Amino acid sequence: MIEALANAQGVEGWLYAITIFVGLMIGSFLNVVIVRVPQRLQWQWHGKAKGLPKPPGIAGPTSHCPHCRQSIRWRDNLPLISFLALKGRCHWCRGEISRRYPLVEALCAALSLIVVCVLGIQWLTLAALAFTWCLIALAFIDLEHFLLPDTITLPLLGAGLAVNAVSGFTDLTSALLGTVAGYGILWAVFQAFRIATGKEGMGYGDFKLLAALGAWIGWQMLPLIVLLSAGTGAIIGIVMLVLKQQKRNQPVPFGPYLAGGGWLALLWGADLNQFYLAIAGL
């Protein structure tokens, strides 16, 4: 019995170590996605007609320094390690490296480890990891560009329906209803805000992202996702206004809050719903 327990703990240790390693590598890849997907979209929308050169794709040439344009050596491109070794500066020109790179890598490793710890060894864990990685990419693209690319959101939606077609996180009917309701809820909020203020409060990418979350988790979790997203966004917005880190009329991307709410709902949705209902006295 003791030997079996020790072996199980040994397997868990290796599993966690592998998860962190894979998470760091995926985080490094997501940094490429976060940079190159918006560049390619901007070129398709504006640059192509102007005859501008086509930007590199995700599987394009090796990364280079945005300051001196020198190619980054493989040993300077190791997740987290290279950033620390180089003290956050380019090897060639000593230009500052964006803090977003190590942040994405560390966040991807940490969230991947949490997913594995919560779900354990099962096929749904792989699905949840892919879900997590897509949300990280979408959140940071929206933070930097106010953009939620269809090239990520729509495949994420389709993957959610496919996972739930084989008894994944919810049944297929709930997933389909979640897709329609997710899009419809934010579309209705958008229209009401536009009529009331004459302004557009959010983009269509937010509608599609909530639809994708509904496809993964089902319509039952949509109120929780909206509550978590709106509540967190309001709290952070107020804090930033108080600290004078943001102007009152400055636009704020909603995608990162939706992504965070959806991720929490996937892993702990039932518990969070019960907690909220207990607080509300329902």
pLDDT of residue 78: 83
Q: Are 201 and 189 in contact (CB under 8 A)?
A: yes
| Domain spans of the chain, in order of start | 1-121, 148-282
pLDDT of residue 10: 56
Longest distance between any two alpha carbons in the chain, whole Å: 71
Query: Above 70 in pLDDT, residue 3?
Result: no
pLDDT band at 144 (very low <50, low <70, confident <90, very high): very high
Per-residue pLDDT reduced to its tens digit, 178-216: 999 999 999 998 898 888 887 777 788 999 999 999 999
Q: In Å, how far are 201, 209, 216, 234 from 127, measured between CA atoms?
A: 32, 17, 10, 30
pLDDT of residue 7: 43
- Of 2-6, 35-39, 269-273, least confident by mean pLDDT is 2-6
pLDDT of residue 193: 82
Share of the chain above pLDDT 70, in %: 91
